Structure 1
Amino acid sequence: MPYKKILLIGSGPIKIGQASEFDYSGTQALKALRELGLEVVLLNSNPATIMTDPEMCAKTYVEPITKETVKFIIQNEKVDAIISTMGGQTALNLCVELEEENFLREHHVALLGAGVSTIKRTEDRTLFAQEMDKLGYKAGKRFLAHSEEEAIRLAQTTAGFPLIIRRDFALGGRGSALTFNLQELKEVFTTDIKFPITLEKSLVGYKEIEMEVMVDCEQNGVIICSIENVDPCGVHTGDSITVAPALTISDHCLQTMRDMTLRIARHMGVVAGGANVQFAVHPNNEEDITVIEMNPRVSRSSALASKATGYPIAKISAQLAVGLTLKEILNDITRVSPVAFEPTLDYVAVKIPIFPFSKFPTSSTILGPQMRSVGEVLALGGSFNEAFLKALRSLEMGLEIPSLAQLSTTPLDITPDYIRERLQHPHQLSLLTVLEALRLKISKEEIADLSKISPWFINQMAVIFDREEEFKQVENPLQSADIFQPFKEIGFSDKYLAFLKDLPQKKILEYRMKEKIFPVFKAVDTCAGEFAAETPYFYSTYAVQNEAVPLSHDGRSVLVMGSGPNRIGQGIEFDYSCVKACERLKNHHIQSIMANSNPETVSTDYDSSDRLYITPLFTEDLCEIFRHENPEGIIASFSGQTGIKIREHFERGFRKDLMTFNFLGPSYDAVDITENRERFNTLTASVDLARTKSMLVKGHKNLLNAMTEIGLPVIIRPSYVIGGESMYIFNHHEDINHLPPQVKEQLKLSTSEFLVETYLRNAIEYDVDLVRDKAGHVIFTVCEHIEHAGVHSGDSGMFAPPLVLTQRPYKKLMEITKKLASDLEIVGPINFQFAIIENDIYCIEANPRGSRTLPFLSKAYNLNIPAMATDAMLGLDIPPFERETFPYFSVKQSTFPFDRFIQDNIILGPKMRSTGETMGIDCDKDHAVFKSYLGNYPKLFGPGKILISLADPQKPVILPYLRSLIKKGYQFMATQGSYDYIKKQGIPCTLVAKIGTGQNNNGSPTILEAMKDDQLKMVLNTPANLGQSKSDGEMIRNTAILYGVPCFTRAENIRAIVESILTTDHYPVPRALQDLYREL
């Protein structure tokens, strides 16, 4: 090997457009490089990843992904090569910057996989179009505009509408906009658009096809698979339903795109590794093919293609990057054929994205060229319809009955006009909208005309509709297996069939058990059965031959339930724990079985467990796997709220009368006690806790009465939710009027109980994660929140170990949690959340499962907490652990998708809205804090301007720091009230006019002009209250988000970031985890 030490750059915190697929890719790459005997150094700021576990490589830097960090690592670790193709847009852009400064060349560091020239020619849309022209390929009509005036002139003359406005080097289509007229184009200019911009003639309505390709150093190439977008061009591919292989394209057209892809990859200089090329195909003329773009790296689509085919793209990309060829590498699954053989699929794979619109209720739900989905599911089936209906079930949105009526945002009366609007303006679940249109007798021709969806997919929905009607007409579908079986083969769930005939679901299951109508399990083998598959990776289908021999026939086995699609409230943190559980089972020589639906994650990598099932985490589908495998135990404690709901179905639903399974970990009664607010209050009465005033209520009127009786402010909490769903803080009675319309309707109609209790303003919140074994041994860890109580724990910054907590309350917290865990008879993990104010301790809630903080705590405390929890659930003793102080500090900060949902208020509250997290770790507290913020805002380092607009109660917060910030080289801008306050202190400050006021008599810049200032480092803006009111402050905050300027909105955050700046005289020295752990 020509290289000895390689730096692999990760993608940082999970965000829209760059999610957990890069943990999967990076983890595969690290394993591959390690197997080749190479020394690998990793840089990634995301603690929730498997790749940042210290045993994955020689040195692990959980540090901000900045030029300064990379330069330090290269010089300190003597790195001689970098792989940037595993870190998404973040890593590519960073390497371009370093190359432009000549730093890599000066330090003799090679850039593997894709060179800077390749990156620039693929990311710069003008250069890319020029390269395609050299090859004789169309890249769409593109026009470069350097100003608003030029853009308008081009749109009205040369280009013409519709147009897509794009940026170069952008993540997930950020900043892209589809415009149909001049007015919409002018609206784009009010955003953070920076010239020059590219105006592309829109290909709306064209079919969009992606081709995944691998190229080695000898220019050998292989196409991994084709992926077809169900939604036509105009919807970001990450937001579209997709299918593999492509189903509506002719073999001739596919062969043409295959040849084009290989030629493009070689021409653009993909030195060695994976890439992705996207095409637009005219729906009525397959000779009309346009090249949309190319990604010279592993991507979201690469992860999907890997899981859809079983071909490990990231692993092979890493091997190719260091010099191996496709002919030298054997296929991991067949272990006899080289990876130069193109995968063959004898099944259909369907991906459906999942969106966080319920968290951002005022933002538009219409899809476009800017990606807004936060996760996705994958389903495999013998037919498109079987895979599609399984994918709907995998979303965990109640779509086992495939109807828009199952969604809380759908009107009670689904009218033809409502459906036509959804067809004409793309929304999530487009094919489900097509199915509803067919039910409403809208013609296939009209559906195709409105939606531009291929008639083939519309016909598939027509098949589902016809089979629905057929099943309804069968007088007694349970009298003959020959009549019943075809409805299961198309993908109908038991619940769906029971719904169509008004039958109890139990009756359908009893009939299937009696007639032995069960699915079989087929292997994903990359070769359609041509070679024997050595790696067991399975999906269910109603066919004849079963290919999965139960692992229980050959020793012990335990099934680990995954956590399903990434979504706000339940993300990669849970997948981390699932993977660690599988690793621990292997250590104990227990065969691990993974069941999950998420194609982005490490848990669905075929070598993370002894057996993998890609399956909906829906009771029926899981039941078939449980029945088939008959494992000695099932671990659902790392599955988030999904695991809680599944256990309820199995242990409280009708299935308990027909079959039983052994769930390891806390009992279901412990689950119910902690989820049921009344039972939980009874439990906590046995320990020394302060108690808030609270009432259980149903309905709108009783809620208002409870608010009056308890006294404002109050917080309302439902039972059995995750991510703070439907939780709200009311400071005023009229705040109830600001609830989203669907929540108000639900409150009026629902019989669900809500707990209304006093909101503990200014209390400090603590997360306690505890693991207990059957002997009562305990692992006790504590996180202290930066934000005060009222901000969801998943959104709050955290310290570990705590800073403010003194020894006495620390010991008391430990006593309380041990007592509560003992009373609940916990065996395994449990999470408690406490609030402390004036030495009074309140218990907010408990979750008898692994929490989202376990990965962060595992890194902070150098403990494999999920593995220890797995030991406890297996009945093994665990070593007790509790430690109050450490030689270093760990800080977690959350990452938010506000830039994709500009219309929503960014003020944090009890409803979780973050998508990911960063970590800062250092022996200096303030350096750790600063690193944690740099993980989200890499340009925060160094002096600049600060824009201040504070509510009156928070104005004194900033005052003690202003003079010190001036000495550091900072300058201040402020809106009128804050400006007056600062000037009274004799401190220099520039007045900024609020939005809509224009320039005042003194020529003060507007907020918009201030935001465009490249010297602006951050905005400090606190609201007058924490309600949902629209205000000047909200416009300031949203404008800051729009322009990518860090915006701090709480006094606690302002203190933390400013104090860290004042004590940071130089860029904080990066520290490898392995070096820090030696100090323990």
Structure 2
Amino acid sequence: MRNENIKKVLLLGSGALKIGEAGEFDYSGSQALKAMKEEGITTVLINPNIATVQTSDGFADKIYFLPVTPYFVEKVIRKEKPDGILLAFGGQTALNCGVELHRSGILEKYGVEVLGTPVQAIMDTEDRELFVKKLDEIDVKTIKSEAVNSIEDAKVAAAALGYPVIVRAAYALGGLGSGFCDNEEELVTLVEKALAFSPQVLVEKSLKGWKEVEYEVVRDRFDNCITVCNMENFDPLGIHTGESIVVAPSQTLSNEDYHWLRKLAIKIIRHIGIVGECNVQYAFDPTSMDYRVIEVNARLSRSSALASKATGYPLAFVAAKLGLGYGLFDLKNSVTKETSAFFEPALDYIVCKIPRWDLGKFHGVRREIGSSMKSVGEVMAIGRTFEEVIQKGLRMIGQGMHGFVGNNQRDLPELEHALKEPTDKRILAIAQAMFKGYTVDQIHDLTKIDKWFLYKLQNIINTAGELRDYNELEAVPEALLRQAKEQGFSDFQIAREIYQENLTEPEKALLDVRAYRKKLGILPVVKQIDTLAAEYPAQTNYLYLTYNGRENDVKYLHDHRSIVVLGSGAYRIGSSVEFDWCSVNALLTVKKEGWRSVMINYNPETVSTDYDICDRLYFDELTFERVMDILDLEQPHGTILSVGGQIPNNLATRLDAQNINILGTTAQSIDNAEDRNKFSAMLDRLGIDQPRWR
């Protein structure tokens, strides 16, 4: 049972959102606060980020809008006298602050107990030299490396290891200050940069081109361990996980590979002494089963937010409870509400995460992606086939893509270079190469992406080619139309492949495809994420839509008591956690007023996509087509657009044209504000001055 001496807990937040440390820590912190509240523990939160859900009224008992630094945290400790402190829920900011509080003796001075993973274990994972030594003790292989504190030492280390090498900064997040070096000149530049972020730099042998695989692992103080989720990067090693397309569960590992790495992950977490949650990242050579451990994060991360949403296993909630002293056998799975948290999730679906970059908003920025994160957000798509989720995901990132085919048919300059040297547009380069007749083997040689993924992408290209053989909708065989929908083609994509340059009225063509497939009975079904592949009944409505199924998992009452709230999608420059705050508060108000709250969103970092924030969560697209599919099923009283930012606003006039009841500001008023011509004309009518514009 839990530690009864803990009556008041201090939780460190992550502060301002930054690249590599975004809304996922609002989500994990909110879950930890929820877990404490359930135990009757008084919570004190330090987080200066006013846009977060966790700093809202009702989550923590007391909030300090102060910097998460040892100086300010000590002042709060002195005033509040907490019994325990949680360090794992505020990202690198909280972790580094916690280590400093421990080293300076502040925690000991005030008698504050670190709940969960001990600080020594955190230091063993964060300090690269200690980390390698720790894993050497149990004969677990790490990448050959040397920790250095100066440029001269780095030169010696790189010469001994042999180029190419990778430089990494200790105590940093998102691959900050890291990169690959092919020669001494590049090394000096990178090490100078890395030492500006961190006192210690790791120079390690490059294994570029190997697979990158990750395991999310949970351990309690009684040494019970489970792996909650394993993930595989679509991109080979050399591209930071945050910059990579990621699938869960892994698709290209054999059963033997999977269990070998799982066994190692459990061996590592036990030896380090994690209590709660951590992730283990591997470089893996599938041809020889050779591996290297890249790193262990002794905290919640962006990957663990993704794993929580991908499996329906609330990692942060469970980790917080384990930090209080519970065993896994004491806790229930929050989704099934029947089975133990000791059960490892089983998935009867596939999840795909795609990063979102906003590099176009910066002048002179390099578009190459590598070991240091540049992405500002991410999306998660759920479906039954890889083809379906990759197409869904590419639409979700909202950068003018409608799926894998037909995005940017303008020739990319130096196509082979675009395949070999990855940028934020590499997926488009792969599509273009396939259209130009490059084989899977040729693309694999240039990209080192596993052929399994490339063959799946080729399936999409082949179906697009088959659709192009028909120049009118009614001529397309029903089986081909169904196949296209099963592979994740949107109605608009289908229209564009059929009509090509004759597509003069896109909106009409899209509606024609929609009407035609509905007439043929080609409709999506609603499936439930239940964490245990339908072995036990799920109690929560955590849902996605797919064409790879026959019946709905949800019984619809059609009582018009639902209110649908449209979320904000992926974080981007200018649209961030503030819209998550708006969405969550809208959902809580809908519930409070006695209506059924329904959320549509696909951002795994958010509180609004938590399994128990609303009555029904559709983890799915915010496109016109998908929103209409859900509204057809829900038949709600109304739909709220105004809390999700630009994406829902942009759907206003199209939804209004389909007679959808939009609650709050009317579609016409939204259009008058968004359309610059209409807005300008209104100012002229009202006699209000405005700047000259064209």
Which TM bucket (shorter chain)?
A: over 0.9
- 1:518 alignment partner, one of 500, 520, 523: 523
- Please tell me whether residue 489 in structure 1 is matched to residue 486 in structure 2: yes
Q: Secondary structure in 1 aligned to 2:468?
A: helix
Distance 1:692 1:434, change over 3 A: closer
Distance between the aligned counterparts of 1:149 and 1:35, measured in 2? Answer: 54
Distance (Å, rounded) in 1 between the aligned partners of 2:528 and 2:693: 53
Give the distance between the partners of 1:258 and 1:225, measured in 2 at CA. Answer: 10
Which residue does the alignment assign to 2:302?
300
Find the partner of 1:581 among 580, 586, 594: 586
Equivalent in the alignment of 1:845 = none
| Letter paired with 1:34 | K
Equivalent residue runs for 1:922-1001 within 5 Å: none
CA offsets per residue over residues 142-191 of structure 1, 9 Å max, x none?
A: 023343233223323x1111111111100111111111222321332553
Q: How does 1:202-217 map to 2 (within 5 A)?
A: 202-217=206-221
Cα distance change, pair 555–473 in 1 and its aligned pair in 2 (3 A): closer
Deviation at 1:692, TM superposition (A): 4.2
Within 5 A, what are the aligned runs for 1:148-227?
148-156=151-159, 158-189=160-191, 191=193, 193-194=195-196, 196-227=200-231
Report the residue type matching 1:108 in the other structure.
G
Alignment of 1:451-490 (within 5 A): 451-474=447-470, 478-479=474-475, 480-490=477-487
- Letter in structure 2 aligned against 1:236: H
Q: Secondary structure at the match of 1:567?
A: coil
Write the distance in 1 (CA, Å) between the matches of 2:108 and 2:615. 44
| Shift in CA distance, 68/161, structure 1 to aligned 2, threshold 3 Å | same
Q: Quote how far apart the aligned CAs of 1:121 are.
A: 0.6
1:276 aligns with 2:279: yes
Paired residues of 1:355 and 1:375 also in contact (CA < 8 A): yes
CA contact (8 A) 1:209 1:280 kept: yes
Aligned CA distance change for structure 1 residues 303 and 189 (closer, same or farther; 3 Å): closer
Q: CA deviation at 1:622?
A: 1.2
- Deviation for aligned residue 1:128: 0.7
1:478/1:484 contact within 8 Å kept:
no
1:42 corresponds to:
45
Does structure 2 conserve the Cα–Cα contact (< 8 Å) formed by 1:467 and 1:487?
yes
CA distance in 2, matches of 1:554, 1:345: 32
Q: Distance in 2 between matches of 1:485 and 1:66?
A: 56
Helix, strand or coil at the partner of 1:135:
coil
Counterpart code for 2:628: C
Q: Which secondary structure does the structure 2 equivalent of 1:184 belong to?
A: helix
1:309 equivalent in alignment to 2:305: no
Cα 1:86/1:401, change in 2 over 3 Å: closer
Shift of the 439–678 alpha-carbon distance from structure 1 to 2, 3 Å rule, reads closer
The AA in structure 2 aligned to 1:124 is D
User: Is contact 2:390-2:403 (8 Å) kept?
Assistant: no
Superimposed CA distance per residue, residues 797-843 of structure 1 (whole angstroms, 9 cap, x where no aligned partner): xxxxxxxxxxxxxxxxxxxxxxxxxxxxxxxxxxxxxxxxxxxxxxx
Q: Report 1:244-259 matches (<5 A).
A: 244-259=248-263
For each residue in 1:728-753, what CA deviation from the matched residue of structure 2 results, as whole angstroms up to 9, or x when unmatched? xxxxxxxxxxxxxxxxxxxxxxxxxx
Q: How does 1:313-352 map to 2 (within 5 A)?
A: 313-352=315-354
Following superposition, the deviation at residue 358 of structure 1 comes to 1.0
Residue 232 (structure 1) aligned to one of 236, 250, 253 = 236
CA offsets per residue over residues 56-94 of structure 1, 9 Å max, x none? Answer: 122111211121221111111111110000011111111
Q: Which runs of 5+ in 1 are unaligned?
A: 407-411, 697-1080
Task: Determine the structure 1 residue equivalent to 2:506.
Answer: none
In 1: Cα distance, 2:520 partner to 2:194 partner: 62
What amino acid sits opposite 1:445 in the alignment?
Answer: D
Answering whether residue 663 of structure 2 is matched by residue 669 of structure 1, we say no
- For the residue of structure 1 that corresponds to 2:424, the secondary structure is coil
Aligned 1:721-760 pairs, distance under 5 A: none
The correspondence of residues 31-180 of structure 1 with structure 2, limited to 5 A, is 31-156=34-159, 158-180=160-182
The 3 A distance-change label for structure 1 pair 481 and 251 is: same
Query: Which residue of structure 2 aligns with residue 1068 of structure 1?
Result: none
Identity of aligned residues (%): 39
**Residue 289 (structure 1) aligned to one of 278, 288, 291:** 291
**For the residues of structure 2 that align with 1:401 and 1:340, how far apart are their CA atoms?**
38
**1:440 aligns to what?**
436
What is the DSSP-based 3-state SS (H/G/I as helix, E as strand, rest coil) of the residue aligned with 1:592?
Answer: strand
The AA in structure 1 aligned to 2:382 is L
Residue 315 of structure 1: CA displacement? 0.5
Deviation at 1:192, TM superposition (A): 5.6
Change (3 A) 1:379 1:238: same
Q: How many angstroms apart in 2 are the aligned matches of 1:467 and 1:558?
A: 37
Q: Which amino acid aligns with 1:497?
A: I
Structure 2: how far apart are the matches of 1:187 and 1:55? 48
Cα distance, 1:518 vs structure 2: 0.9
Q: TM-score normalised to the size of structure 2?
A: 0.95
| 3, 10, 15: which one aligns with 2:18 | 15
Aligned residue in 2 for 1:714: none
Q: Distance in 1 between matches of 2:609 and 2:675?
A: 33
The whole-number CA distance in structure 1 between the counterparts of 2:693 and 2:366 is 35
Please give the alpha-carbon distance, in whole angstroms, between the structure 1 residues aligned to 2:30 and 2:190: 39
Which residue does 1:872 correspond to in 2? none
Kept in 1, the 8 Å contact 2:332–2:339? The answer is yes
Give the distance between the partners of 1:483 and 1:85, measured in 2 at CA.
Answer: 49
Alpha carbons of structure 1 residues 671 and 630: separation in structure 2 relative to 1, 3 Å: same
SS in 2 for 1:246: coil
> By how many angstroms is 1:535 displaced?
0.2
Task: Provide, for residues 534-583 of structure 1, a one-character-per-residue CA deviation record: whole Å limited to 9, x for no partner.
Answer: 00111111134333435553561100000000001111101110010000
Asked whether the equivalents of residues 405 and 461 of structure 2 are also in contact (C-alpha less than 8 Å), the reply is no
Is this contact kept in 1: 2:405–2:460, CA < 8 A?
A: no
* Runs of 4+ residues deviating >6 angstroms: none
Count how many residue pairs are aligned between Structure 1 and Structure 2. Answer: 680
Q: CA deviation at 1:695?
A: 3.9
CA distance in 1: counterparts of 2:189 and 2:418, whole angstroms:
23
Question: Does the aligned pair in 2 maintain the 1:3–1:80 contact within 8 Å?
Answer: yes
CA–CA separation in structure 2 for the residues paired with 1:185 and 1:32:
46
**Cα separation, partners in 2 of 1:360 and 1:404, compared to 1, 3 Å:** farther
Task: Provide closer, same or farther for how the CA distance between residues 196 and 161 of structure 1 changes in structure 2, counting only shifts above 3 A.
Answer: same
Q: SS state of the match for residue 6, structure 1? A: strand
Change (3 A) 1:403 1:418: farther
Of stretches 275-284 and 427-436 in structure 1, the one that deviates more from structure 2 is 427-436
| Match 1:622 to one of 611, 621, 627 | 627
Query: Cα deviation per residue 1:26-71 (whole Å; 9 max; x = unaligned)?
Result: 1111111101111111111111111111321221112111212211
Contact in 2 for aligned 1:448/1:454 (Cα 8 Å):
yes
Please state if 1:427 is matched with 2:423: yes
What amino acid does structure 2 have at the position aligned with 1:263? K
Corresponding position of 1:936: none
Give the structure 2 partner of residue 30 of structure 1. Answer: 33
Corresponding letter in the other structure for 2:590: L
Q: Name the amino acid aligned to 2:64.
A: Y
CA contact (8 A) 1:404 1:432 kept: no
Task: Trace 1:1001-1040 onto structure 2 (pairs within 5 A).
Answer: none
Structure 2 distance, partners of 1:662, 1:223, is 44
Flag structure 2 segments of 5+ consecutive residues without an equivalent.
Answer: 504-508
Q: Is the 8 A contact 1:140 1:291 kept in 2?
A: yes
Matches within 5 A, 1:548-947: 548-549=553-554, 551-553=556-558, 556-651=561-656, 656=657, 659-685=658-684, 689=688, 691-696=689-694
SS at match of 1:649: helix
Question: Given that residues 396 and 617 in structure 1 are in contact (C-alpha distance below 8 angstroms), is that contact kept between their aligned partners in structure 2?
Answer: no
CA–CA separation in structure 1 for the residues paired with 2:399 and 2:13:
32
More displaced stretch, 458-467 vs 191-200: 191-200
Cα shift at 1:198: 1.3
